[in-house]
A and B are shown apart, each in its own frame.
Chain A
């Protein structure tokens, strides 16, 4: 079975500050891990994904995440927050041979000027 835990349903940062959104996963098979972003009244947009290979993955809009198998974590970071980063972020896990995504409960990011 697979599951995802996102610590912190709300995170607030100042513009220009570091963004850190936490994600821990549980999977009995090698996981594929994803971060998606959702803006109000929109669908989900992929920020980045880890499947195999390099454990530090870079995504769009300056975001990156590191897969740490020993910690079962896949935290999302961005060095400098921008006002346009305010949105809801979802961590998700799946595995080989299925497109079924298991999502975390989401983290709403607020960015203050």
Chain B
């Protein structure tokens, strides 16, 4: 099963609105990352938040982390049509042979209508 699960599975908004996506995970983590994937392309790293951080900003992106609830949220403010993509969270909780396996959720599909 996936370590991280994004919610909602799909989100449709108008340009200029804010988009909020959530990620829940099951076990303790060292850090959590958010990635974006445009259709047919590879994933692009957006932001990394460490377990001792509660909030992080990067341009129009705001990520929060609540380790007590094992959840994170990604907020995209003033969305643009170009933000249309799938967004994934990735955690590092899994351990295999002394190495951390990055575990991705199934993603939230965001559509921003112009």
**Do A and B belong to a common assembly?**
no
